[in-house]
Every structure is written in structure tokens, then in C-alpha cells.
Amino acid sequence: MDGPAASGKSSTARSVARRLGFVHVNSGLLYRAITWWALDRGIAGDGPALEAAVPGLDVDFVPAREGFDVSVEGTRPGPGLESPEVTARVSAVSTLPAVRDVVLERLRRAGRRHEIVCDGRDIGTAVFPGADLKIFLVAEAGERSRRRLRQRGTPFTDEDVERETRRLEARDRLDRSRPLSPLRRAPDAIEIDTTAMSPDQVVDAILELAAAAFR
């Protein structure tokens, strides 16, 4: 399952996995964990240092109460993975080839060991080109911002929506324009525009597609 920032991929993937009895693998968490670690070490802006460190980095999915959590060098950053600092840097960090290699290897290993629903930007195009079912989730940028702000649970203004929209669009631009496995719909992925859909409607639509794909 791929799509732009805040398109609802990870909550949708989590629900779909639960309903299918599969394991949810959120690939963005690995990019975020590497970014979190690099910020902590003060090398998040230093591409060469990061590329040198990442091949030996102890970063992977670890079992959690439900599905997987992510651990980096023995620490589980948890909510730290969603911090504004990590979110602002993660697209740049994820352009580095060494970073993408490590994440690709961890994702494919999870895919060999479990039946998974995996979400990200390049899952259908690069990580699992032979996936049984590929979904590309999209939604209008303004709606994606409102969903993200609603998730935070505090009141927000039109200006907050505009600011958030600018941030999301900047991240999408970076994710779409990088040379290595950019955000793109795979030719055989089914696009679902969720702008006017409820979360349950999206999950039900995907479960129907899954039932047909697995028949």
C-alpha cells in the first residue's frame, strides 16, 4: 500500500492486516527510526557520515503488543518517531542509497517470515513488485491536512490547515522527485481516492479487492 504523506496508509494498513489476520509493517517507521538516531547523534544533515554508519546500524522491527515496533541501537523511540524534527528530516534522509538498502532488506525479511500488509512509498514499485495486491491511496492535500490536525486532538484554524498543507506538499515533492525509488503508483496498483470516504469505507473496499485477489 503506497501513497503520499497523511493519505491514511498506515491506519488503513493496520485495520486491513487485523481483518485478514496478517501482520502490519509500516516501512516509514524504519526511515523515521534511522532519522531519529541520526538526529540524536548530530549527523542527520551529514549524508556521508550517515551513509557510512547505516550499513552496520542495529535497526529493525521488533515484536510489539500488536504487530511490530521499531528498535534502533537497542532503543525503541516510540512516539519520538513522529516528532516534528524527525518528520521534517525524514524525506531527506530517505533519499540516501545506503539508508534505502538497509530498509529494503529489513522489509523483505519481514515479508519472507510473515504474511504482511506493508505501507510506504515504494512498496509496490521496488520492495515487493510481486505483491498479491497493490493499493495506491490518494486524497486531496487539504483533506489530508485536516485529518492529520484532527488526529492531534487540539482545535485548529484555517491557517493551521494551510501551513500543514504546505508541509505535506513539500514532503510529497521530495518523495516524488528523488532519483531512487520515488513515490509512484505501480502500473498494476489500484488507486483509491479517499477524500470523500470514511476510514471504514476504505478498509471495506480493500478487503473486497483482497478477497478477489486471493481467490
Q: Which residues pair with 146 in a beta bridge?
A: none
Please give the full DSSP string across 16-81, using - where no structure is assigned.
HHHHHT-EEEEHHHHHHHHHHHHHHHT-TT-HHHHHHHGGG--EEEEE-SSSEEEEETTB--GGGG
Whichever of 96 and 214 has its CB closer to ligand DC, that residue is 96
Closer by beta carbon to ligand DC, 126 or else 206: 126
Please state, as a whole number, how many other Cβ atoms lie within 10 Å of the Cβ of residue 93. Answer: 24
Stretch of residues binding ligand DC (CB under 6 A), selected from 40-48, 114-122, 136-144, 195-203? 114-122
Q: Segment 165-184, which members bind ligand DC (CB under 6 A)?
A: 171, 175
| H/E element, 135 | strand 135-138
Which window, 48-56, 63-71, 117-125, 200-208, contacts ligand DC (CB under 6 A)?
A: 117-125
Using CB under 6 A, which of 67, 77, 111, 120 touches ligand DC?
Answer: 120
Piece of the chain touching ligand DC by CB under 6 A; list 50-58, 121-129, 156-164, 192-200: 121-129
Q: Check: CB of residue 54 under 8 Å from CB of residue 99.
A: yes
Distance, CA of 61 to CA of 32 (rounded, Å): 12
In the complex, the smallest distance separating the C-beta of residue 55 from ligand DC, rounded to whole angstroms, is 18
Q: Would you count residue 94 as binding ligand DC (CB under 6 A)?
A: yes
DSSP state, 102?
Answer: H
- Residue 91 binds ligand DC (CB under 6 A): yes
Binding stretches for ligand DC (CB under 6 A): 5, 27-28, 31-32, 90-91, 94, 120-123, 171, 175
